[in-house]
Amino acid sequence: MENDDMKQKIRDILARHGGLPMPVGELADDGDLYAAGLSSFASVQVMLAVEEAFDVEFPDSLLNRKSFQSIAAITRTVESLVGSAEAAE
C-alpha cells in the first residue's frame, strides 16, 4: 500500500474515532495527537479501528503512547507490521 493511502485511511479513522475537538484536516502528520486532545479511551478505539482496517494486531511492545503520538507515528507503526507480514509470506 502506498504511504499516502495509508495516511489518508488513518486520518479517516481518527476523524471517526479520535473524538478530537478540531477537524483532522487541520492536523500536521507529525502533530502531537495527545496535545490535540486524544484521550486514552479514544486512543484505544483508534487502535482497534486501525487493527481492523489494516488486518494487523499490535504486539504489546507497540501498544504505547509513542506508537500513537502522531499520524506519522501510527503510519510507521502500521508499516512495520504490514512490512513484517509481507516479509513472512
Partner 1 sequence: MTLALATSLAERAGRVAAVAATHADDVDAAARFPREAVDAMIAERLLSIQIPPELGGEGASLSEIAEVCSLIGQNCAAAAMVFAMHHIKLSSLVSHGTDSEWHRAFMRRIVAEQLLLASATTEGGIGGNLRNSICAIEVAGGRCRLVKDATVISYGAHADAILITSRSHADAASTDQVMTVFTRDQYTLEHTQGWNTLGMRGTCSDGYLFTGEAPAEQILPKPFAEIAAQSMLATSHLLWSAVWYGIAVDAVARAQAFVRAAARKTPGTPPPGALRLAEAVNLLQLVKASTIAGLREYETAKADAERLSSMGFAVAMNNVKIAASETILSIVNQAMLICGILGYKNGTPYSLGRHLRDAHSAQLMISNDRILANTSNLLLVHRQDTSLTG
Residues found near partner 1 in the complex (CB under 8 A): 20-21, 34-41, 44, 47-48, 51, 58, 60, 63-66
Q: Does residue 19 come out as left (phi exceeding 0), alpha (psi in the -120 to 50 range) or beta? A: left
Three-state DSSP class for residue 7: helix
For residue 24, the minimal CB distance to partner 1 (Å) is 14
C-beta of 28 vs 48, nearer to partner 1: 48
Which helix (H) or strand (E) segment is 15 a member of?
A: helix 3-17
For residue 72, the minimal CB distance to partner 1 (Å) is 18
C-beta of 5 vs 61, nearer to partner 1: 61
Can you list the alpha helix ranges (DSSP code H) found in 1-89? 3-17, 40-54, 71-88
For residue 20, the minimal CB distance to partner 1 (Å) is 8
